[in-house]
Amino acid sequence: MINFKQLVNEYKTPLYVYDLDYMTSQYNALKGAFKGKKSLLAYAVKANSNLSVVKHFADLGAGADCVSIGEVRRAFLAGIPNYKIIFSGVGKSDDEIREAIEKDILYINVESEAELGRVELIAKELNTSCRISIRVNPNIDPKTHPYISTGLHANKFGVDLNTAKRMYIFANNSQNLDPIGIHFHIGSQLTQLDPIRESAEIVADLIRSLASIKIELKFFDIGGGLGVQYKDEKTILPYDYAQAIFSTLTALDLTIVCEPGRFLTANAGYFLTKVLYEKQNGDKKFVIVDGAMNDLIRPALYNAYHKIEAITESVLEPRKVDIVGPVCESGDFFAKDYLLPELAHNDILVIHSAGSYGFGMGSNYNTRGRSAEVAVQDGKARLIRRRESFEDIIALELEFLQN
């Protein structure tokens, strides 16, 4: 059990806390499910990109799925070897492509014909050949929140099957492209297995059809997206997930690449905030806390549910409250009509499932410094990012201030 009160005394609030041991057990559960087949878990760095978190996964043997050259650099800094790093994303600048080729990463996930052309050109300029994978959009509804659904043709991601085939033939004939993988990722927070299985079948069929024209791929990249429990969702078990993938790969000898983010980190993270005061507006009761949407935007952006627990002396009956931050937006809330007892100044609220897409989606809106981050491992806590100061926030503007 993490002693949140002690952490708040030591590190103040707002504060992110990550349980690295929980991340380890999630990693082992997923890696174990793929036992018996060649597999690489490429941690989706975007979920929680703190260097110490990425290093933790590096030490466990993970690779990295990156969506910007910044994330690629983070992966290198954290000790992930080049041959385990993937660069995905729907838009990559020439500079990013060049650096990824120079760093000799495992492969670049290409998401359009135009991008394939750029990658080829840059590889040619560098007098080399670039390993690539193509992101296929299988046009399958993943049945998740529309903002995090990516596998339909209505979404900007990947290419359709015919385009993919054309791109593989083009790449195979190019001196500067080496097609070694295929990729799909239909969405995030997936709780149903069927759309994943269907997509994998579609993509596996394409692999077979490519093999029949002598284009032999090595990597079957199934993306990320495995959902977690925020409230009462029934989630997919790693074993069932892996078996569903295996079932589509009969007679194919491929390394399975999986890009989990949320599964590894979401429920390892807590966001701690202190109660400033309570306030009544007509019928509505508000609890105003020192954390805000600039720290954790998921409730505001997706209406996402995060369980909230109060550490308080209060023994009063819970009543319905809105838990809100100090930012000047009505969208600045962590929960609405949530049951909590009467709270006092400095009581602590623990916001659960905050280890993915929490800190990373934070901002300095309202000139608020980003929270500190703490890791807990083997019962010991350590600071892994210090709290941002006012000076940190203004540093990049100050030298340009004119009298």
Catalytically active residues are 328
- Cα 218 to Cα 208: distance, rounded to the nearest angstrom: 12
Q: Which is nearer to ligand LLP, 183 or 274 (CB)?
A: 183
Q: Which is nearer to ligand LLP, 302 or 305 (CB)?
A: 302
Mask for 174-203, x = binds ligand LLP (CB under 6 A): -----------x--xx--------------
- Distance, in Å, from the CA atom of 93 to the CA atom of 116, rounded to the nearest integer, reads 12
Nearer to ligand LLP, 286 or 302 (CB): 302
In sequence order, the 6+-apart residues with CB closer than 8 A to the CB of 271 are 14, 15, 16, 17, 291, 295, 296, 306, 350, 351, 354, 358, 371
If binding is defined by CB under 6 A, does position 369 make contact with ligand LLP? no
* Stretch near ligand LLP under the rule CB under 6 A, chosen from 30-38, 257-265, 270-278, 362-370: 257-265
Interface with ligand LLP (CB under 6 A), residue from 44, 177, 287, 343: 44
Q: Counting contacts by CB under 6 A, is residue 230 touching ligand LLP? A: no
DSSP state at residue 147: G
Quick one: 8 or 42, whose CB is closer to ligand LLP?
Answer: 42
Helix (H) or strand (E) holding 153: none
Q: How far is the CB of 304 from ligand LLP (least distance, A)?
A: 7
Pull the structure tokens for residue 200. Answer: 């994998």
Contact between 57 and ligand LLP by CB under 6 A: the answer reads no
Looking at 12-20, 258-266, 333-341, 343-351, which segment touches ligand LLP (CB under 6 A)? 258-266
Nearest to 323 by CA among 299, 287, 350: 287
> Would you count residue 267 as binding ligand LLP (CB under 6 A)?
no
Nearer to ligand LLP, 108 or 226 (CB): 226
End-to-end CA distance of the chain: 54
- The strand pair at 15-19 and 308-311 is best described as unpaired
The CA-CA-CA angle for residues 267, 271, 277, to 5°, reads 140
What is the Cα–Cα distance from 227 to 305, expressed in whole angstroms?
14
Can residue 53 be called a binding residue for ligand LLP (CB under 6 A)? no
Q: Which H/E stretch holds residue 350?
A: strand 348-351
Task: Pick the binder of ligand LLP from 261, 355, 362, 369 (CB under 6 A).
Answer: 261
Among 20, 47, 85, 375, interactor with ligand LLP by CB under 6 A:
47
Shortest Å distance, C-beta 260 to ligand LLP: 5
Choice between 14 and 225, CB closer to ligand LLP: 225
d(CA 299, CA 338): 13
Query: From residue 110 to residue 149, what is the string marking binding to ligand LLP with x (rule CB under 6 A)?
Result: --------------------------------------x-
SS (H, E, C) 222-273: CCCCECCCCCCCCCCCHHHHHHHHHHCCCCCCCEEEECCCHHHHHHHEEEEE
Sites of contact with ligand LLP (CB under 6 A): 44, 47, 65, 88, 148, 185, 188-189, 223-226, 259-263, 298, 302, 356-357
